[in-house]
Amino acid sequence: MALDLLNKQTVQVVDGRDLTWQDAICKASQPLIDNGTVGNDYVDSMIDVVEEKGPYINIGPNIALAHARPSSSCKKIGLALMKTNHVVNLTDEKHPVTLWFVLAATDSNSHLGVIQKLSEVLMNGENVQRLLRATTVDEILRVFK
C-alpha cells in the first residue's frame, strides 16, 4: 500500500537534542535526497515556507508534515519520517514536535493516496500514542503495517 514509502531506509529515530527545526527537516529529508526522490532545493523550499508563513505544517500534537509545492527538484512521490526522542520546537515553544514527516509531491494529485493512508493512521489516537512512544525504527514501522 501507499505507506510502503515508509520503510527502513526512510524512517529514522534520532536523539534530536541539538537540532533546530531547520536541522530536523533537513535530516528527516536526507533519505529522500539519498534515494533520488528530491533535490536540496525542495528541502530549502519546505524550510522557506515555514519561515515565511509560520508553523502551519504542525498538523497535530507533536506531529509535523513538512511539504512544499511540487517543483522540478521533486522527482517522484516520497514520504519519510524522523522521530526525535527529544522535542524540537517548530519556530517556537507553542509548537513542540517529535514526529517529522516529509512529503514530496510531483503534482497536485499524485500524492493524495499517500495522504489518505497517512491520515487514516494518524486519526487513530492509539496509533499516534504508539508512534510517540516508539524508540526504534521497527516499532514505528509496525504502526504503519
Partner 1 sequence: MKFEALCQSGLGSSFMVQMNIQNLLKQENVKEDIQVDHSDIGSATPDQADYFFLDPTLETSAGNLPKDRLIILNSLVDPNELKEKVNAILDKEGIEHS
Told to check if 69 binds partner 1 by CB under 8 A, we report: yes
Q: Among residues 13, 47, 115, 141, which is the contact residue for partner 1, using CB under 8 A? A: 115
List the strands of the sheet with 58-60, edge to edge: 11-14, 78-89, 96-104, 62-66, 58-60
Query: Which residues pair with residue 63 across a beta bridge?
Result: 60, 99
**CB 123, min distance to partner 1, A:** 5
Count interface residues toward partner 1 (CB under 8 A): 29
Residue 83 grid cell: 522521530
Told to check if 38 binds partner 1 by CB under 8 A, we report: no
Instruction: Closer to partner 1 by CB, 18 or 127: give it.
Output: 127
Instruction: Closer to partner 1 by CB, 109 or 145: give it.
Output: 109
Told to check if 27 binds partner 1 by CB under 8 A, we report: no
69-91 burial, b at 16+ Cβ within 10 Å, e below that, comes to ebeebbeebbbbbbbbeeebebb
Backbone angles phi, psi at 72, to 5 degrees: -65, -20
Q: Contacts with partner 1 in 47-66 (CB under 8 A)?
A: 49, 53-61, 63, 65
CA dist 10 and 116 (Å) reads 19
Contact positions vs partner 1 (CB under 8 A): 49, 53-61, 63, 65, 67-70, 103, 105, 108, 111-112, 115-116, 118-119, 122-123, 125, 128
